[in-house]
Amino acid sequence: MNEQPRITDTLCAVIGSYLVKGDGDRFDADGKAALAATLQPFVEKGEPIELVLPGFPFKSLNFHAKTSGPKPDFGEVLALRRLEEMCAALDAVYGHGVRLTIVSDGTTYNDIIGVSDADRQAYNDAVRTLWPSRYFRWSTATDLVGHSGSPQELRTALVEQAALPYADLEAFKTAVQADQGLSAAHDRMCAFLYNDLRPQLADDLDEDAYFAEIREKAYEMMIRGLALNAGVERAFPQAVRLSVHQYDNAGPKFSFGFLPGLAHVSAPWHKVPYRHLDGHFSFVDHARIDAEHTLAVYRGDQIWLYQESDAAIDPAIKLSIVKPPQFGLLVELDAPEKVKLLTPRLTRSLSDFFSFICVRGCHFEEREDLVDYCLPFGDIYQWHFGPVHVVQPEEKPKGFVQSLEKTPIHWDLSMLPLDHDRVKQDEWFCADLFMLYCKAPPKKGEGETTLVDGREILRQVGPETVEAWRNTHVTYNTKMTYFGGHPRTYPLVHAHPETGEPILRYQEGSKSEYQTFSQEVQGLSQADSDAFVEEMNRRIYDPKVCYAHPWEAGDMVIVENYLTLHGRNPMSEASSMRELWRVQTIPDMPVADRSAAE
């Protein structure tokens, strides 16, 4: 039986699920067949599928109404992440590879919009570094025309090579005015330009002059758009054509949705990214942000994203990303009591997204005060010494945690004994959140808490390796009586108990004189196990995924324990005063299970 039609149908279904389908959409009626005809030659030859998307030009300069600044922000990350997600889904069912060429088309239009060539180039350079992907290739106007040159020379060459059926711009205007379809397209272009151009045009222009300027620029935008289209068709004649504009998806162009569930095309370079409390994102006009219930998260001096709050916000609280694109959030308070403005729902939402939060400027006088703060987040784990684990160097350490040595990378409550009530109920039981409060910091440059972005490691290795890691089991062993002294075996990857997303579960070994911690990869020879462990250790300390938090007195770090791994850098005697208070929250036990455990 020939499997090619079935594979092509599956590929069409995958791509179709990422399209924006508005009223009158024709993908099912006509577009699916057109897309299948484009895909079929790749399938027949067993060659990588080629896709092309012109877009990611520059940010709209209307920073009040539409965007928040000239640099790419988390909106572009969301768009690139969704493109990668589609490519990975295609790759998973096809197996011969997928390549997506993104044509940065800003050179085509930036002079019309009023964006300088320097700002366009800065945007173009920055956006390429936001979300590196093995599926992406980046292209520019230089590639379309086949030679280099100044931006204006490239624009001229693009139009000349298109060989459009118009002698010049005036002839094109005449053709537009005589054609109902082109005239309607010109009207839509004028409407689009109305907001983008207003901040760039002279303040003393009256309304008639303003509209006249827009009409002229709309003609120029249209003819260059036709030239761009011709250039893309010449350069990528066989590729599946994705678009950032609204079409009915009958083909040959298909409107890509940069967010799921869109009814209309929305692009991040015309909007700001807005994260809702339930975790989903929207692209919204900057002017529509509700300042009283929205937190601005910064990356340096730019707004990185907006976050919905379930309570009125205080503008004096500053939020900034720790490690772009989304690992860690620094929240700076100007008064300790303002920690209460971070409601449990908001804090949970932030920790789910950023993996950890550092709230700087807290003050808990007594350990009970920290416990009271943590109570709304869930059940608190009770050690034999109580709910607060005081982590500080001891004169006679019982293990590496109480020493000045490094603490290996791990996740909290990983090595509980097998006869523990909660472990008997759930073999993967561990803390879901834990809070570390800095009562006294170490010497600067020592004793930092290391935090590892498990999400990013899994993205880097790709879906095939993630799937293999689900079946890779590692046995860990330590003789610390504190943990019961029982070896524990975990898959390297298993599912987040709430979201279902894959999570990384790995612990670093130790040969400390205070506490040994061994690892053994099941089913491998000792040499292969050692090599695997060495590779994992390299991955968890890669600067792209590992952050060392420098403690300040009053810092409270809230860590999502499923999404991160953590440890501690070594210290000298000069840091013997370091004192952290740790409280762990744990998932609620079902009533039936709780009574059985009791």
The answer as to whether 323 is a domain residue is no
Residues 9, 458, 265, 66, Cα dihedral to 10°: -170
On whether both 128 and 257 belong to a single domain, the answer is: yes
Q: How many domains does the structure of the chain reveal?
A: 2
266 and 370 housed in the same domain: no
Backbone angles phi, psi at 565, to 5 degrees: -120, 160
Buried b (16+ CB within 10 A) or exposed e, 230-242: bbbeebbeebbbb
Domain check: are 379 and 253 in the same one? no
Kindly give, in sequence order, each residue whose CB lies less than 8 Å from that of residue 578, ignoring residues fewer than 6 positions away: 392, 393, 440, 441, 442, 447, 551, 571
CA distance 404 to 575: 8
Residues 6+ apart with CB under 8 A from 53: 83, 100, 101, 102, 103, 242, 243, 244, 256
- For residue 190, tell me if it sits in a domain: no
Rounded Cα distance between 576 and 395, Å, is: 9
Are 264 and 372 contained in the same domain? no
Give backbone dihedrals phi and psi of 54, rounded to 5 degrees, phi first.
-75, 135
Check if the beta carbon of residue 192 is closer than 8 Å to that of residue 243. no
- Domain end (from 216, 247, 270): 270
In a domain, 289, yes or no: no
Tokens of 517: 């911690």
Cis peptide upstream of residue 252 (ω within 30 degrees of 0) = yes
Shared-domain flag, residues 241 and 369: no
* Domain encompassing residue 136: 4-165+237-270
368 and 266 co-located in one domain = no
128 in any annotated domain: yes
Same domain assignment for residues 59 and 161? yes
Collapsing DSSP to helix, strand or coil, 117 comes out as: helix
Residue 19's DSSP bridge partners are 256
Judge whether 228 lies within some domain: no
CATH number for the domain that contains residue 369: 3.60.130.10
Is residue 213 in a domain?
no
Identify whether the C-beta of residue 19 lies closer than 8 Å to the C-beta of residue 27: yes
**Who's near 505: CB < 8 A, 6+ residues apart?**
411, 414, 490, 491, 492, 493, 494
Amino acid found at 345:
R
Could you tell me if residue 102 is inside a domain?
A: yes
Positions of E strands within 281-374: 281-284, 294-299, 302-308, 318-323, 327-332, 356-360
∠ CA 96-100-106, nearest 5°, is 170
Asked if residue 341 lies in contact with residue 335, where contact means CB atoms within 8 angstroms, the answer is: no
Beta-strand relationship, 318-323 and 294-299: parallel
Name the burial class of residue 443, with classes exposed (0-12), middle (13-18) and buried (19+) by CB atoms within 10 angstroms of its CB: middle
In tens digits, the chain (598 residues) has pLDDT values of 467 779 999 999 999 999 999 899 999 999 999 999 999 999 999 999 999 999 999 999 999 899 999 999 999 999 999 999 999 999 999 989 999 999 998 999 999 998 999 999 999 999 999 999 999 999 999 999 999 999 999 999 999 999 999 988 999 999 999 999 999 999 989 888 887 776 555 556 677 788 888 899 999 999 999 999 999 999 999 999 999 999 999 999 999 999 999 999 999 999 999 999 999 999 999 999 999 999 999 999 999 999 999 998 899 999 999 999 999 999 999 999 999 999 999 999 999 999 999 999 999 999 999 999 999 999 999 998 999 999 999 999 989 999 999 999 999 999 998 888 999 999 999 999 999 999 999 999 999 999 999 999 999 999 899 999 999 999 999 987 666 678 999 999 999 999 999 999 999 999 999 999 999 999 999 999 999 999 999 999 999 999 999 999 999 999 999 999 999 999 999 999 999 999 999 987 543 343 333 3
Q: Are strands 240-243 and 49-55 parallel, antiparallel or unpaired?
A: parallel
- What does the pLDDT read at residue 196? 74
280 within domain boundaries: no
CB 364 within 8 A of CB 373: yes
